[in-house]
Amino acid sequence: MRTLLLTGPGGSGTSTLAAATAVRAAADGARTLLLLRPGRRPAGLDDVPGLAVACVSPLTAAESLWTSAGAALGAVPGLTPPPSTSVVPLPGAAELALLARLARAAAEDEADTVVVDAGPLESGTALVGLPRALGWWLDQALPTRVRVLGAVRTAAVRSGAAARGPVDAVLEAVPPVEEALGRLLLDDPAATEVRLVALPRAGAVPALRAAVTALALHGQQPAAVLARVLPDGGPGQWWARRAAEQDDALAALAELAPLQRVAESAEEPADAAALAALLPPGDDVAPVAALAPSVDRADGIRRLVLPLPWAERAGLDLTRWQDDLVVTVAGARRSVPLDSLLRRCVVTGGALADAGTAAARLEVAFTPDPQQWPADLLAAEGSTP
């Protein structure tokens, strides 16, 4: 299943261009599913062969989840859970609802191509990192030792030596959830293509650069920027000044990803043909590579390098937690698992190289910990106890 995820600053036309992208995909013969957020629905989508459209409501998703969890909650003595119609969705439920709908589409093989209207930039970048974030929370709530004890308890329940309780229902729900998360490769450009939508104005450029940094933290990068441009030839000084601002913004946006110009129209698209006509002919987007951490070694020091294009020093934070390196940048956070060698090292330095440019990268130095490395291996590494 191929996923096309569109996100952009509020008011940039993400929903409209997501619909246009879905219409194009269906016209090319792909079984296409368009996932929209609640709100205005572009016209003409119901008459497109091969295109299915789903409006993903956080409220509906919360009610469905509560209904499925009701049996386990009802088994807790003294607890009377409210009905699903009384459930109040948590903040961030919109991204969770989209993730759940994507998991269902993948499990049921609903489509060849899924186009996601991911909404504003903050929501789009959060959605990309959500599968890993949920996996992290599962690991914290149910670490290995707890899962081992859970397996023992499950065996006891099946043999009749222990009574089934709400804990067993939770333990049984974890493997299917982890399997579903494993199918959602939103941080892999080979499976999920991110397209940024933008109005080419000066104020939009910093927000889009920060979004590119946040995406890079999760290993993802945009495959294209869809810029909604003014038509040519407007009269007067106002138009000339506005066109000059647009040209400057387009030059900056082109540094983030390949630029596709989407001409503004006087009216909203009235049908599927008008939607498809918004995008440039062919709509060809070249694949991009994942931005993965790399490790090099010199003079007894190992250096982990994490690409963070356009990252600034302000707001960048780095901590070590057990076997993970935790990086915070551009309002996003990721826990990067360390390999077996780096786990036995101590962090001795960190710096952001080429800050504020496309080549920006976080460089973290590791030195072998004498307490965890044999003396002869330390000597081979070029280090001394």
Terminus-to-terminus CA distance in the chain, angstroms? Answer: 51
The torsion of the CA quartet 200, 203, 207, 213, rounded to 10 degrees, works out to: 80
What pLDDT score was predicted for residue 92?
75
Coil/strand/helix, residue 195: strand
Instruction: Please state the rounded mean pLDDT for residues 310-317.
Output: 94
Structure tokens of 39?
């709100």
Coil/strand/helix, residue 356: coil
In the chain, what percentage of residues exceed pLDDT 90? 54
Q: How confident is the model at residue 385 (pLDDT cuts 50, 70, 90)?
A: very low
Instruction: Please state the rounded mean pLDDT for residues 31-35.
Output: 96
More confident residue, 266 or 278: 278
Q: How confident is the model at residue 121 (pLDDT cuts 50, 70, 90)?
A: very high
In 135-160, which positions are buried (b, 16+ CB within 10 angstroms) versus exposed (e)? ebeeeeebeeeeeeebeebbeebeee
Please tell me which of 103-107, 236-240, 255-259, 277-281 the model is most confident about, judged by mean pLDDT.
255-259
Per-residue pLDDT at 176 exceeds 90: no
pTM of the model: 0.87
Instruction: Please state the rounded mean pLDDT for residues 58-83.
Output: 66
What pLDDT score was predicted for residue 74?
55
pLDDT (tens digit per residue) in 228-265: 998 877 778 888 899 999 999 999 999 999 999 998 88
Least confident of 113-122, 291-300, 342-351: 291-300
Please tell me which of 8-12, 162-166, 308-312 the model is most confident about, judged by mean pLDDT.
308-312
Least confident of 104-108, 199-203, 221-225, 266-270: 266-270
Angle made by CA atoms 227, 233, 237, in degrees to the nearest 5: 95
Closest CA to 330 of 125, 39, 60: 125
Q: How confident is the model at residue 374 (pLDDT cuts 50, 70, 90)?
A: low
- Contact (Cβ atoms closer than 8 angstroms) between residue 308 and residue 362: yes
Write the CB contacts of 249 (distance below 8 Å, at least 6 apart in sequence): 198, 200, 201, 202, 204, 205, 227
The domains of the chain, with CATH numbers, are: 2-276 (3.40.50.300), 294-381 (2.60.40.790)
Neighbours of 380 (CB within 10 A): 11
What pLDDT score was predicted for residue 255?
96
